[in-house]
Structure 1
Amino acid sequence: MSNQAVRPVFPFTAIVGQEEMKLALILNVIDPRIGGVMIMGDRGTGKSTTIRAIADLLPEIEVVKDDPFNSHYSDSELMSDNVKKSLMSQITLETAFIKVPMVDLPLGATEDRVCGTIDIEKALTEGVKSFEPGLLAKANRGILYVDEVNLLDDHLVDILLDSAASGWNTVEREGISIRHPARFVLVGSGNPEEGELRPQLLDRFGMHAEIRTVKEPELRVQIVEQRSDFDMNPAACLLKYQDKQEELKNKIRNAQEMLPKVAIDYEYRVKISQVCSELDVDGLRGDIVTNRAAKALAAYEGKSNVSEEHIQKVVTLCLRHRLRKDPLESIDSGDKVLKVFKKIFD
């Protein structure tokens, strides 16, 4: 496909404001094990534009050529069974570089469309396991975006969260089972007016970003003008932001490489758990995610040790959606989290 045929994507570095959402997306891209982002906010605040922009910005990934699961050529956690068999038989596999997959999950999607289907007839008549991959297969090693996630069937949200957490998707039918890697960054967005997700589903998203409509007239004008410039001449706009895009791409790539070397002091780990305990956060997911997010932020800033500032920047994003006990309460804006953070860390 020629470059002209590819629809241009608004550059991530040109997006004004919405710092919470941008930071949450960048950190999840650096460490997908954070567990995804739930973005809640008003309509028309650039949620889907920002998510497409981060996917477009990411460095290309190396995959096994013509593999429907975007299998990694050497990491067994990210490769399909067929690729594993080929490697065990010492067959040389061709690889190719592709853009990070960005998969949109339509609201009316069925379970078969999401998970994939097994051809039972073929299995019974020919004894062959025939599998038609679904959206989870396409999203492996990429981003899976669900707009209006709060309107999606709870059962489907459960499937998405299970795959995102385990990194695998298992399809079973009539005693036949197939599993394949499905490690992706799950990004959900929604409008709070249309209802919240159930607390037990919400808790399974790593981070929760809130976005608001920009109020300052000057900023609003800047956003509108940038969008108009892009729509009228995408090539000129992309050229204008090319250096910034490259810089951010390198920063993310360096952070991904540096992440395993980042350390967080025991004292800070204890304090994070104290914050979670004082806020009465259920389970240990809040502790784990805050630790991971703080490490990802340190790596993003090129630091090998997590500082108090790193924890402060991520703690609200990681904990605000875990506080609710009463389903009728709305999500805390983060004041409560920061108050407890300051009390324990000061």
Structure 2
Amino acid sequence: MNATTRGAAQRPVFPFAALIGQAPLQQALLLAAIDPGLGGVLVSGPRGTAKSTAARALAELLPQGQLVNLPLGASEDRLIGTLDIESVLRDGAVRFSPGLLAKAHQGVLYVDEVNLLPDALVDALLDAAASGTNTVERDGVSHSHDASFVLIGTMNPEEGELRPQLIDRFGLMVELQNCFDAQVRQAIVKARLAFDLDPQGFRAGYAGQQAECAERLRAAREALPQLSFDDAVHAHVSALCIDAAVDGLRADLVMLRAARALAALEQARAVTAEHVDRVAEAVLVHRRHSRESQPGDHAGENGEPQRASQASSSSSSVSADSSLAPAAAQSAPASSDNDWGYLPAEPTHTTRVKGVIPLGVKKR
């Protein structure tokens, strides 16, 4: 029994099946567990919305049952691994010392407040999460090892955002909100109080649902390679991504893989457009761009940029309304690139000051 498992035994985990009001988050986590190549799940929401509770609960459903936490103060060496200095000093042998990515293999790598991590660490863990392999080349060591894990990153938007280049690399994203439904809040609080009062008894009440969920997860992983996509599904995915004005093709790839994972979870015989629709929001919420036209973005009917036509229309409106402008403005010369508006420059007044007696040249 490793340290993580012993810690889990000492501190009972809230059951995944007992989560209330978190259906979108539960679906996203299960899909990432079925296909870790999705690139992980980014969970955004205010404090106290069960982000970390859900991450621990998912780890318990996996065969390894291992949850590895990446602390904010971790170094790059601790994350990806480095040279084993003790072996070098003791035996003179070059050996690799595994990091947290190796320990998270077949489990869950949980990063709380991922938006506060240095960009270099976020890059490294996202690379490993998408490829399933960690490669380290430093200090004379070239080493690769399997690193297939479910990446779960949480963040509070009030404490800062991730760079767009990094947030796009998370496969799925779920935005949690504060619950203002009185009945749901009461149900959540009652469940939590019951768990805190008698953790083992509470877990026993959900043992059957937990076992069923773990079995569904195992069966979905086995069924995943047998599912494929037809042209209609591809066309539907392309249409959704184009309508969302996403950058690149990562959204298309993730949406297809997420839809396939959902079909595998439900033991469907084929991936359908309905599966695509049910995962689309988690794929697009952090990649969607506005399609509203911006000045200069589109050409007019004569092929000229829209900005030029808008500028000419603006100057025409000024000319049309020149009767409302001051007389000085009407007599001003034609506008140029250096103008700051249609009003002419106003003269400034100067005041004579008392002459200053120059000092003599300093003798050397």
2:223 pairs with one of 253, 258, 261: 258
CA distance in 1, matches of 2:42, 2:289: 15
Q: Which moved more, 1:159-168 or 1:271-280?
A: 271-280
1:298 pairs with one of 263, 281, 287: 263
1:208 pairs with one of 173, 176, 179: 173
Q: Deviations over 1:253-289 (max 9, x none)?
A: 1111111122322111122112212322111110010
CA distance in 1, matches of 2:34, 2:198: 31
Amino acid at match of 1:286: A
SS in 2 for 1:236: helix
Cα-Cα RMSD:
2.1
Amino acid at match of 1:297: L
Shift of 1:3: 10
Q: Relative to 1, partners in 2 of residues 1:203 and 1:117: Cα closer, same or farther, differing over 3 Å?
A: same
Q: Relative to 1, partners in 2 of residues 1:43 and 1:268: Cα closer, same or farther, differing over 3 Å?
A: same
- 1:151 equivalent to 2:116? Answer yes
- 1:140 equivalent to 2:91? Answer no
Q: Deviations over 1:133-167 (max 9, x none)?
A: 11111011211110100111111101111111222
SS in 2 for 1:304: coil
Higher relative contact order (CA 8 A, sep 6+): 1
Greater strand percent: which structure? 1
Aligned to 1:280: 245
Unmatched tracts of structure 1, length 5 or more: 61-98, 327-346
CA distance in 2, matches of 1:5, 1:37: 26
Aligned to 1:38: 42
Aligned pairs for 1:92-107 within 5 A: 99-107=64-72
SS in 2 for 1:180: strand
Q: Relative to 1, partners in 2 of residues 1:17 and 1:35: Cα closer, same or farther, differing over 3 Å?
A: same
Verify the 8 A CA contact 1:20 1:211 in the aligned structure 2.
no
Q: Deviations over 1:285-323 (max 9, x none)?
A: 100100010011111111011122211110110112112
Verify the 8 A CA contact 2:38 2:257 in the aligned structure 1.
yes
- 1:169 equivalent to 2:134? Answer yes
- 1:217 equivalent to 2:221? Answer no
Amino acid at match of 1:55: A
CA distance in 2, matches of 1:236, 1:120: 47
Aligned pairs for 1:100-115 within 5 A: 100-115=65-80
SS in 2 for 1:322: coil
Aligned to 2:195: 230
SS in 1 for 2:179: coil
SS in 2 for 1:321: coil
CA distance in 1, matches of 2:8, 2:16: 20
In our comparison, the structure showing a higher alpha carbon Rg is 2
Aligned to 1:190: 155
Aligned pairs for 1:20-99 within 5 A: 20-58=24-62, 60=63, 99=64
Q: Deviations over 1:117-143 (max 9, x none)?
A: 203574488452222211111011211
Q: Which moved more, 1:166-175 or 1:131-140?
A: 166-175
SS in 2 for 1:26: helix
| Length-normalised TM-score, structure 2 | 0.75
Identity %: 51
Q: Deviations over 1:165-198 (max 9, x none)?
A: 2222222223322222212111110011111110
Aligned length: 287
Verify the 8 A CA contact 1:20 1:210 in the aligned structure 2.
no
Verify the 8 A CA contact 2:40 2:170 in the aligned structure 1.
yes
Shift of 1:6: 3.2
Aligned to 1:13: 17
